[in-house]
Amino acid sequence: MKHLKGNRLSGKNVIVTGAGSGTTGYGLGQSIAILFANQGAKVLVVDIDSDRASRTVNTIVENGIAASLCVADVTIADQCQNVIDTAIENYGNLDILINNVGIKGLGSVTDLDEEHYNRVLSVNLSSVVLMSKYAIPYMIDNGGGSIVNMSSFGAMRSGGFGPAIPYALSKAGVIALTEQMCHDHGPAGIRVNCIAPGHVYTPMVKDRVNEEQRELRRKAAPLQTEGNAWDVAWATLFLASDESRWISGVTLPVDAGLLTTSPISMLDKLTN
Ligand SMILES: NC(=O)c1ccc[n+]([C@@H]2O[C@H](COP(=O)([O-])OP(=O)(O)OC[C@H]3O[C@@H](n4cnc5c(N)ncnc54)[C@H](O)[C@@H]3O)[C@@H](O)[C@H]2O)c1
């Protein structure tokens, strides 16, 4: 973990949602929580699953850094309020909120399951509204803050390995929400930005793509390398920290250049 060390978030109090850890590699929220803690922040790790949340906190604490956890379902307003209250109780105030939580959402409009559709919209989009609703008043009292929301390449390009209407819609909503929140809360000193990861290989993806598809994902982007959770965590660090103090309302692709490509331009790379 030595290479993660620094002081870019010294004195900052942070909440990361969906920061729990599986047992097979690093997820995005988990990497963000670990990196931020190593950069001097006090991090509240939030996840619906207490084992996952504990694993991330233990990884941080084992390295001699303090961190705490809060088990919550961020689709429920009372639980979001409780997350914010816990952060204030533990750390005194709140500087940074990372709305990372997200689940996959498959199906076309003709075959999707309505219950699944509503759940994905609730987890991926409404949770950002709820967490921000309760965090922003504290940030205003604190003189400002930084919010980073997790969207996806899938919000801007369709296709992939099958229809994913609930996912695409929810992640497109996150971009619109980011821009609107930037406008509404900028005068109070609150910056709101967004990350759109491309074909990052994480445990969530591991369950969904086979090795052949994984290789196609790697070759599809101009850099032709596979991204991991740490690539997203470093980009999130920049947008969360004061280094980006004059940046608000942007969606930053972290995708090895994937968004610049057209199917024709990549044809030879994918078939060779
Ligand atoms: N992995 C990728 O390639 C990729 C690409 C683009 C965008 N993203 C986005 O990045 C984010 C993180 O993805 P990941 O791959 O690290 O996922 P992950 O599954 O590893 O982590 C998500 C975490 O969120 C938690 N969670 C789920 N529902 C919750 C709820 N209601 N309340 C609180 N916690 C809840 C899960 O328990 C899990 O620990 C998601 O928003 C995802 O859509 C991922």
The ranges assigned to domains in the chain are 8-271
Closest CA to 14 of 35, 27, 203: 35
The closest alpha carbon to 21, from 49, 61, 63, 62, belongs to 49
Residue 145 has pLDDT above 80, yes or no: yes
Identify the pLDDT of residue 25: 83
Decide: 73 in ligand 1 pocket, CB within 6 A.
yes
Q: How many angstroms does the Cα of residue 67 sit away from the middle of ligand 1? A: 20
Rounded to the nearest integer, the mean pLDDT of the chain is 95
CA 118 to CA 115: how far, in whole Å?
A: 5
> Which atom from ligand 1 is nearest to the alpha carbon of 153?
6
Q: What percent of the chain has pLDDT over 70?
A: 100
The number of residues in the chain equals 272
What CATH fold (topology level) applies to the domain 8-271?
A: Rossmann fold (3.40.50)
Residue 20 Cα to ligand 1 midpoint, Å, equals: 9
Could you tell me how far CA 125 lies from the centroid of its own chain? 12
pLDDT > 90: percent of the chain:
88
Residue nearest to atom 26 of ligand 1 (CA): 18
Give phi and psi for 51, each to the nearest 5: -65, -45
What's the pLDDT tens digit per position in 2-31? Answer: 799 999 999 999 999 999 987 888 999 999
- Per-residue pLDDT of 218-271, as tens digits, reads 999 999 999 999 999 999 999 999 999 999 999 999 999 999 998 777 777 777
pLDDT at res. 160: 76
> Residue of the nearest CA to atom 40 in ligand 1?
102
174 lines ligand 1 (CB under 6 A): no
Residue identifier of the C-alpha nearest atom 19 of ligand 1: 204
Judge if the beta carbon of residue 123 lies within 6 A of ligand 1: yes
Measured in Å, residue 103 CA sits from the centre of ligand 1 at 5
What is the pTM (predicted TM-score) of this model? 0.97
Give yes or no: 167 in active site.
Answer: yes
- Residue having the nearest C-alpha atom to atom 39 of ligand 1: 20
